[in-house]
Amino acid sequence: MRTITWDEQKAVVKLIDQSVLPMKFQFVELTTHDDVYHAIKNMVVRGAPAIGVAAIYGMALAAREYKGQDLNALKASLAAAGKYLNLARPTAVNLEWGIQRTMKMVDEFEGSADQLKQKILDLANQAADEDVATNMSISRFGAELIADGDAIVHHCNTGALATVDYGTALGVIRMAHEQGKRVHVYVDETRPRLQGARLTAWELEQYGISYDIITDSSSGYLLRSGKVDKVFFGADRVAVNGDVVNKIGSYMLALAAYDNAVPAYSVFPLSTVDFNCPSGENIPIEERPQAEVLNLQFNGENVMPEGASARNFAFDVTPHRLISGLITEHGVLYPPFCRNLSLLKPKGV
Ligand code: MRU
């Protein structure tokens, strides 16, 4: 199941529409970089690694939207498209990573406008393939931490849907299952967008992995009652000191895990590390529309009083002291994260 593909015949980017799953399994076709911007903003595509690859496809579409042959004019319109796409969502650094990766190639490119258009599309396809290989590697390293019979709390959706394929934190669980280990997953429903209840549960159904959906506030009770062996979640941006910004609720989950001496792991590719960011406090936290919180219905009726107001923080910061290990495609990192992450810093960043 690939979340993002390029359809060469139609010259469109095809995405699994995550805003309607699991009620409907359908694809959307994107023809312009503006389509990609809105797909990211409205969470038709979501999850940090998927957003990063979608951004590069957005740049490929932006290049094709320029119909002239002037290389400098094409480069200028790509710079503008990159700035625009970068505004779609502020927190997951993979968006910026995808655009910067493309713009580095654009800036260094010499040749014809048509050649550059093709090169950006090739880069998008390459980044998509790399993402899958990276996730397989992450999952192999992570699966070594899972023992037969483990009960695991998982937050948000970090599976195939949140990446190009296979997933990160959910990929680790999936790999352990494929290796024959018996695992049971407690799926945080993940209010308000319900990525856990809708998307993670849907994926676990496909893989035949045992699970129960729990309300977000249940994990503290479960952890305290000794029913959980490990906690796994993803990351949207990791600071160089190992602080992890991830889906709202990750911090409270990590706190409860720490208080009960249950190991909590954050799982992500190196493209999610912001090597320019010293700590989690400097990371922008997206605040989404109130309606996502207020539109809750019970028995077919609106739950909240008319005129109610809400705050809808999409992410939070988990301080590195609460995290037992960071799982990347290069292996599992243990404290001191600052030193161990800096050893993985790519050249030129
Ligand atoms: O708002 P979302 O659904 O894009 O948030 C996603 C998460 O927080 C994931 O945990 C994170 O992106 C890692 S996905 C491999």
Q: Whose CA is nearest to atom 13 of ligand 1?
A: 234
The Cα–Cα gap between 215 and 190 comes to 8
Q: What is the mean pLDDT of the chain?
A: 97
Three-class SS of residue 233?
strand
53-63 b/e (C-beta count within 10 Å ≥ 16 → b): bbbbbbbbbbb
Domains parsed from the chain with CATH numbers: 4-135 (1.20.120.420), 142-347 (3.40.50.10470)
To the question of pTM greater than 0.85 for the whole model, the response is yes
The yes-or-no verdict on residue 348 having pLDDT over 70 is: no
Tens digit of each residue's pLDDT (9 = 90 or more) over 115-140: 999 999 999 999 999 999 999 999 99
Q: Which ligand 1 atom is nearest residue 94's CA?
A: 12
Q: How far is the CA of 162 from the centre of ligand 1 (A)?
A: 7
Tens digit of each residue's pLDDT (9 = 90 or more) over 254-279: 999 999 999 999 999 999 999 999 99
Half-sphere exposure (CA, 13 Å, Cβ side) for 310? 18
The Cα–Cα gap between 149 and 227 comes to 11
Residue 279 corresponds to which tokens in the numbers above?
């700590």
| Average pLDDT, integer, range 38-55 | 98
**pLDDT for position 282:** 87
Note if 7 is an active site residue: no
Q: Choosing from 236, 243, 274, 316, which is the catalytic residue?
A: 236
Tens digit of each residue's pLDDT (9 = 90 or more) over 284-293: 999 999 999 9
Residues at CB less than 6 angstroms from ligand 1: 46-49, 92, 156, 158, 162-163, 168, 195, 233-236, 246-247, 314
Q: How far is the CA of 192 from the centre of ligand 1 (A)?
A: 13
Tens digit of each residue's pLDDT (9 = 90 or more) over 136-177: 999 999 999 999 999 999 999 999 999 999 999 999 999 999
**pLDDT for position 1:** 85
The yes-or-no verdict on residue 7 having pLDDT over 90 is: yes
- Percent share of the chain, pLDDT over 70: 99
The Cα–Cα gap between 63 and 59 comes to 6
| Average pLDDT, integer, range 74-89 | 98
The yes-or-no verdict on residue 347 having pLDDT over 90 is: no
Q: How far is the CA of 46 from the centre of ligand 1 (A)?
A: 7
Tens digit of each residue's pLDDT (9 = 90 or more) over 205-258: 999 999 999 999 999 999 999 999 999 999 999 999 999 999 999 999 999 999
pLDDT bucket at 193, cuts 50 / 70 / 90:
very high
